Structure 1
């Protein structure tokens, strides 16, 4: 990807445009490069929705009572131990 070179005044004046662009910009002052601006991709709508969903799940977990949390931990430990036991047991169907 080619880097566009702009003066510092032009860069300040067009900052919003450079942010929305995907092309890196070399910022110059008196013809000398003083820095680079590399825009990053904005989160996609799906990413934002996934973050919202995760926040909703976190709020639901935070509302659990201590007994509910302990029961969930016991369930998780049981599932983890069962999965480990399955990995240790040789598959007799091979």
Structure 2
């Protein structure tokens, strides 16, 4: 598998996608290769990890079930105004 070549700036901007990819990445500056990122094999998530994540998501959904969205937005705006007022002092 050949490496794809990207500049330093592009590597920084797209690092998340490169970390998820299986393709090696040659990082260059002005055409000169500075280094090569070679991804390692990732372990697949265990079933137990996935079930724990689902349980946490279910708990979060239950906790947020009674939250009034309009009230939440109003409280956020009020706190934001207070924060701005405190910064001006």
TM-score, structure 1 as length reference: 0.47
Question: Who wins on radius of gyration, i.e. which is larger?
Answer: 1
